[in-house]
Structure formats: structure tokens, C-alpha cells
């Protein structure tokens, strides 16, 4: 691979790693609230979180470009705070990636939180465990498989982004030219050998991700025994 391709790989790994960390920080409280709340606003909030699953990436990228641009409310706020403009920067890619990959982290976590028996949290409360203590000492350890699944999905989905990152980041070598954009460049230039090498790497990466997910979701130990007894 060319040095530019290795730079794209490094940039993609940095983007996916930072985005996954931010997604876990932002998505965990959202997932907990969606799993526990009985608010009438829950369907609307869940729909907003899941919106990137059904919207074309270019639509999301277009509206993000308007919001983050110099005339948009977010763009004006960042410029007023001295942070500059987000479009066509690595920071803009991170913002776009967090929004685009949000449902891939929130939904597995929400399902994991919903699977926690209510009696377990009630027992912790009867032992005078406060809300924060119940969350960090009981809920999070029990939701560990969902947390791992969310991390893998968030990282993998960010690696495979194309439309959103191209709309927000453009194609600036060393700054916003990620792996998917590099493949597109090679195909556009009829450099099929280089495109094949990068694409084959993505296929191998996808296979590793899928196998990892199936391993994480496979019931083991007491869970497998209980399922067997139920049958």
C-alpha cells in the first residue's frame, strides 16, 4: 500500500476509536433512560436515536453540513467560542460519526438494560444502594455483553462510513481522507489493484467483527444451562 493509504488507515482507526469512546459516554445514559422510562416521549426519543438507520447518509450529511456550516446555528456557536468551523476537519468527522453511529450503540445497550430483572435492582435498593450505586455496581456489570456488542458495532460502523464522512469531511489527505474515501479515490482513478487491497482488508475486518459479535452473543454457562432446562 502507498504511504497515503497507510495514513488513511491510521486516520480511520483514530476516528473509530475516538467516536466509539464518545458514543459509549453519550449513548449509555440515553440507553438507560430509554430502558427505564415510562415517559410518553419515549417513542419520539427512540425514533430520533434510530433515525440514522433509515435516513440516507447523504441526507444526514447535508443537514449536518447546514448546521455545522458558517451560517448554521452550531457553526456560528463554534466560531463565537473560538473553535473555528467544523466542516472539512477531523473534529467535524467525529461529530458526524457520533450522530450517524448512535443507534448502533444505544440499541444494544438498551436491550441489555431491559433484560436486567427488576427484582435485582429492587434487591439492591432494599440494601440501601442509591440510584448511582445501583447503576454502576449492578446494572453495568449485568449489561456487560451489551456493552461489548455496542463497542464492536460502534467501532465497525464508523470504519465503514462513506456518505456522511465525505459530505462533512471531504477528501483532504492526512486530515479527512479516511479508508472508505481512499477506496473510492482508487476506483475513480482506475487503480483497481490498490482498491482491491484496501477492500479485501475491509472484508476481512467485517468477517472478524461478525464472528466477534456471534461469540459475544452466544449463551454460555448458567444462561445456556437455563435455556437447556427450559427446553
CB burial of residue 181 (10 Å; 0-12, 13-18, 19+) = buried
Note the pLDDT of residue 2.
Answer: 83
The yes-or-no verdict on residue 78 having pLDDT over 60 is yes
The fold for domain 3-219 equals: MetI-like fold (1.10.3720)
Between the CA atoms of 116, 118, 120 and 121, what dihedral angle is there, to the nearest 10 degrees?
100
- State the residue for C-alpha cell 444451562: 225
The yes-or-no verdict on residue 135 having pLDDT over 60 is yes
Closest residue by Cα to residue 7 from 215, 156, 198: 198
Mean pLDDT, range 65-69, rounded to an integer:
90
Contact yes or no for 146/108 (Cβ under 8 A):
yes
Note the pLDDT of residue 220.
Answer: 52
The yes-or-no verdict on residue 228 having pLDDT over 60 is no
Mean pLDDT, range 52-80, rounded to an integer:
90
The pTM of the full predicted model, rounded to 2 decimals, is: 0.85
The yes-or-no verdict on residue 222 having pLDDT over 50 is no
Q: What band does 80 get if pLDDT is binned at 50, 70 and 90?
A: confident
DSSP class of residue 116 equals S
What lies within 8 Å, CB to CB, of 18 at 6+ separation is: 94
Note the pLDDT of residue 83.
Answer: 81
How many separate helices (H) and strands (E) can be counted in the chain?
Answer: 13, 0
Contact yes or no for 96/16 (Cβ under 8 A):
no
Distance of alpha carbon 201 from alpha carbon 41, whole angstroms: 42
List the single range of 125-129, 165-169, 215-219, 220-224 with lowest mean pLDDT: 220-224
Q: What band does 18 get if pLDDT is binned at 50, 70 and 90?
A: very high
Mean pLDDT, range 211-229, rounded to an integer:
60
DSSP class of residue 135 equals I
Amino acid at each position: 500500500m502507498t504511504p497515503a493509504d497507510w495514513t488513511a488507515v491510521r486516520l480511520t482507526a483514530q476516528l473509530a476509536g475516538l467516536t466509539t469512546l464518545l458514543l459509549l459516554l453519550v449513548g449509555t445514559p440515553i440507553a438507560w433512560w430509554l430502558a427505564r422510562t415510562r415517559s410518553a416521549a419515549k417513542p419520539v426519543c427512540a425514533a430520533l436515536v434510530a433515525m440514522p438507520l433509515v435516513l440516507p447518509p447523504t441526507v444526514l450529511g447535508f443537514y449536518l453540513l447546514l448546521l455545522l456550516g458558517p451560517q448554521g446555528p452550531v457553526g456560528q456557536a463554534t466560531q463565537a467560542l473560538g473553535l473555528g468551523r467544523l466542516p472539512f476537519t477531523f473534529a467535524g468527522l467525529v461529530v458526524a460519526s457520533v450522530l450517524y453511529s448512535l443507534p448502533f450503540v444505544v440499541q444494544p445497550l438498551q436491550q441489555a438494560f431491559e433484560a436486567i430483572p427488576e427484582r435485582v435492582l429492587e434487591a439492591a435498593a432494599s440494601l440501601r444502594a442509591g440510584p448511582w450505586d445501583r447503576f454502576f455496581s449492578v446494572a453495568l456489570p449485568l449489561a456487560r455483553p451489551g456493552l461489548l456488542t455496542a463497542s464492536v458495532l460502534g467501532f465497525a460502523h464508523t470504519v465503514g462510513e462513506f456518505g456522511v464522512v465525505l459530505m462533512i469531511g471531504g477528501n483532504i489527505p492526512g486530515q479527512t481522507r479516511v479508508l472508505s474515501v481512499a477506496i473510492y479515490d482508487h476506483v475513480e482513478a482506475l487503480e483497481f489493484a490498490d482498491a482491491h487491497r484496501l477492500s479485501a482488508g475491509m472484508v476481512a475486518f467485517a468477517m472478524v467483527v461478525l464472528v466477534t459479535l456471534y461469540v459475544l452473543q452466544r449463551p454460555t454457562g448458567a444462561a445456556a444451562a437455563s435455556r437447556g432446562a427450559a427446553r
